[in-house]
């Protein structure tokens, strides 16, 4: 068993394996001498310890991520459900009703899947009802259910934030491949929701925001000043240490070509604006 070969093979599919094993790159290469210091019989146990440190996630941490995701899905589902139940909000005779109904149904499917995953893992799913949410975000969006363009603007912010939130938790699920796969399946659907809502906002009934694109460009392209925190970091132009504009691309193209994650703490701070405390 050659630990150098093992690490090299892992590095082919996970270029950050050394960071996972030790945060100081100068010390990471010490593992190349690891094999000569460990007795052959003890090597499997030593490797197991190393990879547990690199990839291992406790059940509690995985359940925490799942309940975090479930909270976001409850917010989205109840938001769309409330909007669909509000007479006169969604323009009659337009494709919007069918589109928003489909998105609402997707969010409900996500809620039910995550609840089942949490219960099946021995955890207790969080639970919310529509009455526990304040979709005005403490007065930032008072017209959310009386003005259709405002409703779509808030929907876009929710969807864009959800995409970034799932991305931010991917590394925390690496020790649970099946959960990670499910999270990525939801993540891609949320991205499609975000793109479609952005397209709906370009239509005259949606506000005619013709400058909006299906992807995020810059720090906050939503046209919603109160949503600055939701788009924080999206003006990043450096990927893998490479300055993308330096390769000949515009700043807008450089930010639009890469999506950025949001930390759980940042997302929880945003979500707290929509969850009533009493």
Statement to judge: residues 136 and 159 lie in one domain: yes
Residue 224 has pLDDT above 70, yes or no: yes
Any domain includes 148: yes
The answer to whether 209 touches 202, Cβ cutoff 8 Å, is yes
Residues 89 and 22 in one domain: no
- Is the distance from CB of 90 to CB of 79 less than 8 angstroms? no
Of 17, 40, 55, at which residue does a domain stop? 55
Taking only the tens place, the pLDDT of each residue in 178-204 is 999 999 999 999 999 999 999 999 999
- What is the structure's pLDDT at 123? 94
Domain of residue 40, residue span: 3-55
The answer to whether the CB of 148 falls within 8 A of the CB of 206 is: yes
> Do 195 and 69 belong to one domain?
yes
Q: Find the mean pLDDT for residues 27-39.
A: 47
Return the pLDDT at 277: 86
What CATH number should be reported for the domain holding residue 146? 1.20.1260
Q: Is residue 277 part of a domain?
A: no
- Residue 56 has a pLDDT of 46
- How many other CB atoms sit within 10 Å of the CB of residue 61? 15
Q: Are residues 45 and 105 in the same domain?
A: no
My answer on whether 19 and 89 are in the same domain is no
The pLDDT of residue 169: 95
> What value does the mean pLDDT take over residues 217-246?
94
Do 146 and 259 reside in the same domain of the chain?
Answer: yes
The pLDDT assigned to 15 comes to 52
What is the per-residue pLDDT across 149-162, written as a single tens digit (0 to 9) for each?
999 999 999 999 99
Count the domains in the chain: 2
| Same-domain check for residues 66 and 122 | yes
219 and 136 in a single domain? The answer is yes
48 against 159, higher pLDDT: 159
Q: Is residue 276 part of a domain?
A: no
As a whole number of angstroms, the distance between CA 7 and CA 31 comes to: 9
Mean pLDDT of the chain: 85
pLDDT-above-70 percentage for the chain: 78
Q: Are residues 247 and 198 in the same domain?
A: yes
80 and 196 both lie in a single domain: yes
273 pLDDT band, cuts 50/70/90, is very high
Q: Contact at 8 Å (CB) between 237 and 254?
A: yes
pLDDT mean over 42-67: 60
DSSP annotation of 258: S
pTM of the model: 0.78
Candidates 115, 201, 136, 191; CA nearest to 160 is 191
Model confidence pLDDT, tens digit, residues 86-144: 999 999 989 999 999 999 999 999 999 999 999 998 999 999 999 999 999 999 999 99
Q: Are residues 116 and 8 in the same domain?
A: no
Q: Identify the domain boundary among 40, 55, 70.
A: 55
* Range scoring the smallest mean pLDDT among 84-88, 164-168, 224-228: 224-228
Tell me whether strands 242-243 and 238-239 are parallel, antiparallel or unpaired.
antiparallel
Residues 129 and 20 in one domain: no
């Amino acid at each position: 068993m050659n630990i150098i070969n093992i690490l090299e093979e892992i590095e082919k599919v996970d270029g950050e394996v050394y960071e996972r094993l030790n945060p100081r790159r100068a010390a990471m290469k010490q593992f190349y001498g690891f094999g000569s210091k460990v007795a052959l019989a003890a090597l499997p146990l030593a490797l197991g310890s190393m990879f547990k440190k690199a990839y291992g996630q406790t059940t509690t941490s995985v359940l925490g991520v799942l309940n975090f995701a479930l909270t976001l899905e409850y917010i989205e589902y109840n938001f769309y459900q409330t909007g669909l139940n509000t007479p006169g909000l969604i323009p009659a005779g337009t494709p919007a009703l069918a589109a928003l109904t489909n998105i609402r149904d997707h969010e409900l499917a996500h809620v039910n899947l995550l609840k089942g995953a949490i219960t099946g893992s021995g955890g207790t799913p969080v639970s919310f009802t529509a009455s526990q949410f304040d979709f005005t975000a403490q007065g930032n969006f008072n017209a959310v259910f009386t003005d259709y363009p405002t409703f779509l603007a808030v929907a876009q912010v929710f969807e864009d934030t959800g995409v970034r939130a799932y991305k931010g938790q991917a590394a925390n699920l690496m020790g649970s491949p099946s959960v990670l796969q499910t999270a990525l399946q939801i993540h891609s659907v949320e991205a499609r929701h975000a793109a479609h809502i952005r397209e709906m906002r370009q239509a005259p009934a949606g506000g005619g925001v013709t400058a909006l694109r299906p992807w995020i460009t810059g720090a906050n392209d939503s046209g919603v000043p109160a949503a600055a925190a939701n788009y924080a970091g999206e003006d990043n132009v450096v990927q893998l240490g490479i300055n993308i504009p330096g390769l000949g691309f515009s700043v807008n193209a450089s930010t639009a070509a890469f999506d950025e994650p949001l930390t759980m703490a940042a997302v929880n701070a945003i979500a707290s604006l929509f969850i009533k405390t009493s």
